[in-house]
Structure 1
Amino acid sequence: MIRILHTADWHLGAALQGWSREAEHRAALRQLVALARARDVDAVIVAGDIFDSLNPSAEAQRLLYDTLRDLRAVCPRATIALLAGNHDPAGRLEAPRALFELAGVRSIGAIARRDGAVDLDIHLLPIRDAAGDTGAHILAVPYPRAADLPVAGADVTGSSIVWGVRRLYRETVDAARARVGASPLILTGHLHVAGGTESEGAERRILVGGEHAAPPDIFPADAAYVALGHLHKPQKVVRETIRYSGALIPMSKTEIGYAHGATIVEIGACGQATAKHEPFERSVAHLRVPAQGALAISEIEPALAALALDPQISDEAKPFVHLTVKLDGAAAGLKAEIDAICEKFPLRLVSLAVERPQRAEAPQSAPVRLAERKPLDLFREAFEATHGVAPSDEHLRRFDQLSEEE
């Protein structure tokens, strides 16, 4: 039996509307280390987007190194593989390779080739069981950048990028099979596989060349398991053994309902894989207010009071709140008014959405030349389109003043 911890999309160094996420990350990574210890894993795969930016802060890098130290302490014999994602600085992950390898950590930022072929000494990692026997291999493939892909010939039909990604996986798998025979292969990937559920506003559409998603059949059927990163929702894609472990913590409002955590994969004696996602407890609450619909301005303060938040809670543990407001009039001064309300409560407002009542569309009329329109009429229409109400007498007076100044 081989047991693997599959994790991805840590996004260390991320912020939410300027608020640091370090406390959340530390709490989640402590649970990750505890899970690795409790399940006595033989390998840890971090399938990309370790950092949130190409220039991670010193604090984010320190958190990575602290976590690797802790994982090595609780899993002294485990294979640990770090794969670059589209957010990661590939070169920076590879620069400390010699030091990482002293700790038994393999860090792979880009496809390494030797004499034109994928260098399996870099990309193929054995996984040993408690007895020290090799029970499986990781075929570690990071985010496929343009320079990593084979060049398609003129005879290629369809997407040359998808062709290149497919060819890359076929090439690496064939080379690995020639070396390790029928040993179970654990593939990795950091890309959007068609059929996976995206998180609106949180994930970039990343395949190079303007492509969006790769078909799941780029992964050969004889792969025991495919450990994916990039999509933040824990999920399978087509079959149980092609999976995203998801992000560690919510990265946007759309992810509040996800069971963020990590995935434990077991490879049996016959080479068959089973996977179980293990959700983590959140150290910081993420709240939609209201849970559905929208609140009138007068309803906001009672709704926040009803949350019964602890006034003694520490700053780093204050919940993140995503507020939706319904508004019929002008939005001028809205943010300041809501900020004043929220300041009465131990929370952090990180998003404000405004819903307006739907209005019947005016019948279409024949187009009119701009030169035939009066500036005041244009101002009235633009104001109402933006704010949902007609401008007041004061707005019209100020517009007249500006027009005279011109």
Structure 2
Amino acid sequence: MAVHFLHTSDWHLGQFFHHHEREYEHTEFLNWLLTQIKSKQPNALLIAGDIFDVVNPASSAQKQLYQFLTDAHVLAPHMQTLMIAGNHDSGYRIEQVEPFLDRFNAKAVGVIGKTAEQKLDLDKLLVPIYDSAQNIVAWCLTLPYLRSAEITGLNEHSSDNQSAVAYLHQQLIAEAKARKQPDQALILMSHAHMQGGETSDSERPIVVGNEEALSTALFDEVIDYVALGHLHKPQQVGQPHIRYSGSPIPLSFSELNYKHQVLEVRIDPLQADAQRFQYESLLIPRTVELLRIRCELSELITELNKLPKDEIAEVCARHFLEIEYISDAPPPIDLRQQIEQALPANRYRLLRIARRFQNCENSNVQQSKIDLEPPTPEKLFLDLWEKMGYQPDPEVSQDFLQLLAEAQQELDQNKA
């Protein structure tokens, strides 16, 4: 029996981009996704983490998710929605609404559970996927973002992060093998940074001990498909069946050329290798563009005059624009006024104006800019570290991020 599912991740509901909310863009994406669900009627929708942008999301972001789940269940009552927590999510928070999720054929796995005997709760992590006749067509091995405090110290095989991650994968895959029937597929859903994955500048670093990126060697060959979350660029890692779906909208200017998509996957375990696995990229329409103008200062106004001029009534639907101009000489005092006058009215949201200095002696480009986004805890720490006279140290930075993740975990547990 074949299993048919959609793979998506990294929605980051509630994100603010240079202080601008993205609710309109997320609503357009979710409406598009509902259209796909209605027409394709998959067995399951897999959301591989970072559902929200912060661990304490705004009520409007939570409403977006729950309204989507409600609408999706109406359009495809037999479809299961399986979600895992990412490093931006509170695993405890997304599990708290389990009674509500049950009503809409949805399930969230936020944290690694333990039994009364303090062993891994494999039943929680192994979720059957059914067809419309309630036959099990696949097992989904759900692995949320693995925090150190949750996975270390279970036994002698999990004394540190690296051994704990390996032990968890081994135990989960072994149990899945024992339950699997020949006509059932195995799908592993994980939120992790895999070795060889291409990153953007909007992904928060994931630190597991001193080894951030995980190896695809963790995945046994019996796994038919690995549905990954965390990296925002759609990509395969090593093999065609190990894939990041990517984020549905660009979350930074480094992602403006990404082809955002949802992956449609079909697996028939009884077919030969060539026909066993099929996938299609469903390209997501982009409703708000990210535009960047880079040019010499002398050409800037000319470039701005080339921009399309049709007005967009809703502010939330206007395109984002950043400007970087190259000039060794000081800019005119009224440069910002000139830029605003040249920009077409009611079409763009100007986020940033940056000056780049061309160093003629060594041909390097130096940049001077003002970034209006609020600083992250990591940036504040590193700034303070340098002000104290210390040199940048990657190990110190990783240790700080590890402590920050553990502090956030403790905060989540106290709130739960």
What is the TM-score normalised by the length of structure 2? 0.80
How many Å apart are 1:312 and its aligned residue?
4.4
Residue in 2 aligned with 1:165? 165
Distance 2:311 2:367 in 1: 38
The partner residue of 1:279 within 280, 283, 289 is 283
AA partner of residue 205 (structure 2): R
Following the alignment from structure 1 to structure 2, what is the Cα–Cα distance between the partners of residues 335 and 258?
32
- 1:143 positional shift: 0.6
Letter in 2 for 1:131: A
Q: What does the per-residue CA deviation read over 1:126-146, in whole Å, with 9 as the maximum and x for residues that have no partner?
A: 112233321111111111111
Corresponding residue number in structure 1 for 2:262: 262
Matched residue, 2:392: none
- How many Å separate the matches in 1 of 2:277 and 2:165? 24
Contact 1:301 1:341 in 2 (8 A): no
Deviation at 1:338?
6.4
Supply the distance in 2 between the matched residues of 1:334 and 1:209 (Cα, whole angstroms): 50
- 2:122 is aligned to 120
Match of 1:190 in 2: 191
Identify the range of structure 1 (302-311 vs 102-111) with the bigger mean alpha-carbon deviation: 302-311
Q: Secondary structure at the match of 1:236?
A: strand
Identity of aligned residues (%): 32
The root-mean-square deviation of aligned C-alpha atoms, in Å, is: 2.5
* Alpha-carbon distance in structure 1 between the residues aligned to 2:106 and 2:157: 41
What secondary structure is seen at the aligned counterpart in 1 of 2:310? Answer: coil
* Cα deviations by residue, 1:60-84 (Å, 9 ceiling, x for unpaired): 0000001111211122111211110
Give the corresponding residue for 1:110: 111
Worse-superposed segment, 136-145 or 116-125: 116-125
Q: 4+ residue runs of structure 1 moved beyond 6 angstroms?
A: 152-156
More displaced 10-residue stretch of structure 1: 123-132 or 3-12: 123-132
SS at match of 1:274: strand
- Within 5 Å, give how 1:90-239 maps onto structure 2: 90-114=91-115, 115-151=117-153, 160-182=160-182, 183-199=184-200, 201-239=201-239
Contact 1:79-1:105 at 8 Å conserved across structures: yes
What secondary structure, in the 3-state scheme, does the structure 2 residue paired with 1:113 have? coil
Determine the C-alpha separation between the residues in 1 that align with 2:333 and 2:85.
44
Kept in 1: contact 2:109–2:142 (CA 8 A)? yes
Distance in 1, Cα, partners of 2:334 & 2:11? 35
Measured at CA, do residues 223 and 323 of structure 1 come closer, stay the same or move farther in structure 2, by a change above 3 Å?
Answer: same
Contact 2:162-2:208 at 8 Å conserved across structures: no
Return the letter of the residue paired with 1:283: T
How far did 1:162 drift? 3.0
Cα distance change of structure 1 residues 357 and 95 upon mapping to structure 2, 3 Å threshold: same
Cα distance in 1 between the residues matched to 2:360 and 2:155: 54
Shift of 1:297: 3.1
The residue type paired with residue 279 of structure 2 is: A
- With normalisation by structure 1, the TM-score equals 0.82
SS of the counterpart of 1:250? coil
Shift of 1:357: 1.2
Displacement after TM superposition at 1:122 (Å): 1.9
User: 5+ residue gaps in structure 2?
Assistant: 369-416
Relative to structure 2, which stretch is displaced further, 161-170 or 68-77?
Answer: 161-170
Aligned to 2:399: none
For this pair of structures, how many residues does the alignment match? 357
- Partners of 1:96 and 1:152 in 2: how far apart? 27
Deviating more after overlay: 99-108 vs 205-214: 205-214
**Distance in 1 (alpha carbons) for counterparts of 2:112 and 2:53:** 21
Shift of 1:281: 0.6
Q: Quick one: distance in 1 between partners of 2:14 and 2:367?
A: 36
User: Does structure 1 residue 26 correspond to structure 2 residue 27?
Assistant: yes
The one-letter amino acid paired with 1:116 is Q
CA deviations on 1:159-180 (whole Å, 9 max, x unpaired) are 9433321221111111222233
Q: Which amino acid aligns with 1:213?
A: A
Cα separation, 2, equivalents of 1:223 and 1:124: 13
- 1:12 paired with 2:13, answer yes
What corresponds to 1:242 in structure 2?
Answer: 242
**1:24 is matched by which residue type in structure 2?**
E
CA deviation string 1:76-123 (max 9, x = no partner): 111211110000011110111122112221111100121333323322
Contact 2:85 / 2:111 at 8 angstroms: preserved in 1? yes
**Which whole-Å CA distance do the structure 1 matches of 2:192 and 2:81 have between them?**
20
Q: CA deviation at 1:181?
A: 4.6
Cross-structure match for 2:403: none
User: Does the 8 A contact of 1:261 with 1:280 survive in 2?
Assistant: yes
DSSP 3-state at the match of 1:349: strand
User: Quick one: distance in 2 between partners of 1:335 and 1:147?
Assistant: 52
CA distance in 2, matches of 1:98, 1:35: 26
Q: Closer, same or farther in 2 for the Cα pair 1:266/1:126, shift >3 Å?
A: same
- Contact kept, 8 Å, 2:152 with 2:160, in 1: the verdict is no
Partner of 2:43: 42
